[in-house]
Structure 1
């Protein structure tokens, strides 16, 4: 992904944060920079100020389409997000690594959503973009490229505006930064008068990200954005790593013992199953997942308990499955709440099988990731959310905002 404008500034901040260098930029400067990315509309003054963008999120477990409707601001500030049309399809594009033409079919089906949402007269000036994440990052370069070529072919056949870099794989750091932009845009923390921001925790299938703006001691205007991404530590990948089953598919039938599974077998692949060696419980399960986290996931520099974090994707989904939050409204949880429910599920599942055979392992991994990985206290409060102001919590909106300044929309 070519980085310019505001995202380049944020990436530089992230790098500086990792090196602990001081970068003289303020939140006001950042907001002003983002405000300069709006597309120039070469249309009559009395014409509608509405414009559209189509962003595909090609994740490891599914492909999602976001069709955004914006209203051009009267000022030089940020645009107004009027609406989002969202739809998703499972599995992800990486599932078609050996039949890439199916990846093209998936994208073609989702484009029907865009055609129904965007007025026909706006198709030629509405950009269509796809960014792939951990699912394709974990594939071999040849297989990933074959999938991207199929998507590019579908885009080129579509009636929408296709930018030069419309299809690509996004690295994990950018994923975290763009998600941070999305959530702070939606919560109003990118406005010039705002002096605070919120951090983000994203747990996908193949990777996980943590991004926040630390409160450095030297001065309120000496700030460095901290963004860390861990490939292979999303929830689905962590399951395989915990069980030592990475690459086990296609190698013949095998069975794995795990203290994180109940007496009922957990099917990972059609040839790999898992069950308990006789006793399943939280403590023994925690020791299993700790091997995946310890020494690999690190506490970010300048992480403070005062930072407000929004957690989404599988953080949200598993909290809903565990009955900790409402599936629509979300809610606030302390880290200890997740730990407590993990203990309850793991220690009782031999008698009372959970709704998901992996719920014990997943909740235990999330607890371990937050505590032993990122270093959060048990009293740390997280805002679990799927949507913010009726818009999906993800990097997609941030990627759309970043892309505007490179596009000449007519």
Structure 2
């Protein structure tokens, strides 16, 4: 049987759009009775409501349709999640924003199928864009958001204020941390000192977030932007958190090749020792196309590749004073995907890996990439970058164990569940 997950009353307020700073429990009961659907059921009947969250990332757009249950005798329960995704991301339409609407409409059809028709007007639909749009100019990003807003406004769903916006990187890390720790049961009063850290590797950016155990970790940050404080579930948390724009896996490929932010793309070929010598291909990211190739005139393999990716990491990624072994980190997104591609973990179950496992597999992939053309030509570069990011970037020990996961209790590991709270200002992040 799939485990159910108890949510605080705050979540119920959030997804119904009723959360206000001075709401009383009397108001809460009255509001819930007027908003939630009524069913012809016995006295102990349950009421079902829904929330729709779009994650507009750099490499794709995903929809999460959450089903919640409110029982007369229990706190709300997260009953189900419907998840669908499509590629490319919104940023691929930076020069033709109207073309982005087709994908949004397709995903809205998923919401229509998942949410009963009678509940459409009561179900909030929200989109948060991440690194893909943060890397665009303000004008191009806003043009895309305007198109999405137009599609939302035409939909039969509840469209709250600020329903289509770009989320900053700090909130992305914090909300992912909240989602994973809620799903793992670490946010209860008894457990919140034993939280897990999160490592999220997207296409355009990467985040690290954890609850420090030592004051020196807080005191030794280069700037205060690395620390965030907020109250949730009757607890106050002070997190170490940072989002590195340009250090997501796809952006890191371009940075390694010297192509990130480059001009005159039509006349340039970007080479790398991380690619097979005979490799030559056009590759697109963020609406731009790059001519890439291996480097026949230089050595290939793990060592020269590592030196290339090290330039992308060194001096950019801050190493926290502590990365306690007792503070387990959950790693997801491209950490998980590439570990699956390399055969390190099962694509459904995930698994536990040591940091050194990425390095060992990177060496193996890089040494055989020319002999195995069926393997992704980027796998050597990607695995080497992940190894470098973890060890020389964040400063994890090679023996540090990471939990590689795609879902937690059958719910997608991402920031989206936490964003349900954030959208309705239930969190005060400082």
Task: Establish whether TM, by shorter chain, passes 0.5.
Answer: yes
Secondary structure in 1 matching 2:357: helix
Matches within 5 A, 1:62-77: 62-72=60-70
TM-fit CA distance, 1:401: 3.1
Quick one: distance in 2 between partners of 1:73 and 1:382?
37
- Offset of residue 76 of structure 1: 8.5
Which residue pairs with 1:5 in the alignment?
A: none
Deviation track 1:27-59 (CA, whole Å, cap 9, x = no partner) reads xxxx89779757442346966421100000000
- Given that 2:15 and 2:420 are in contact with CA atoms closer than 8 Å, whether structure 1 keeps it comes out as no
**2:32 counterpart (38, 41, 45):** 41
Q: Which structure 2 residues correspond to residues 53-64 of structure 1 after superposition, within 5 A?
A: 53-64=51-62
SS in structure 1 of the partner of residue 112 of structure 2: helix
Post-superposition offset of 1:372: 0.7
Among 274, 284, 299, the alignment partner of 2:293 is 274
Match of 2:197 among 196, 199, 216: 199
Partner of 2:116 in structure 1? 119
Alignment CA distance shift 1:303-1:36 (3 Å): farther
The answer on whether the counterparts of 2:58 and 2:91 sit within 8 Å (CA) in structure 1 is yes
Quote how far apart the aligned CAs of 1:215 are.
1.5
Given that residues 359 and 387 in structure 2 are in contact (C-alpha distance below 8 angstroms), is that contact kept between their aligned partners in structure 1? yes
Contact between 2:369 and 2:375, CA under 8 Å: does it hold in 1?
A: no
TM score, norm. by length of structure 1: 0.85
Within-5 A mapping of 1:74-93: 79-93=76-90
Q: For the residues of structure 2 that align with 1:335 and 1:348, how far apart are their CA atoms?
A: 21
Superposed CA RMSD: 2.3
Task: Kindly indicate whether the alpha-carbon contact (under 8 Å) linking 1:123 and 1:160 is maintained by their aligned counterparts in 2.
Answer: yes
Structure 2: stretches of 5+ with no match in the other structure: 1-7, 17-30, 217-234
Q: What is the number of residues matched between the two proteins?
A: 373
The one of the two structures with greater contact order (alpha-carbon pairs below 8 A, sep at least 6) is 1
Aligned equivalent of 1:162, options 136, 159, 168: 159
* C-alpha distance 294-169 of structure 1, shift in aligned 2 (>3 A): same
Inter-partner Cα distance in structure 1 for 2:71 and 2:356: 43
Which whole-Å CA distance do the structure 1 matches of 2:259 and 2:69 have between them? 48
Cα pair 1:250 1:271 within 8 Å, conserved: no
Report the alpha carbon displacement of residue 102 of structure 1 after superposing the two structures with TM.
1.3
Going from structure 1 to structure 2, the CA distance change for 1:225 and 1:118 (only over 3 Å counts) comes to same
Matches within 5 A, 1:181-260: 181-195=178-192, 196-216=194-214, 224-248=238-262, 251-260=265-274
1:310 pairs with 2:330: yes
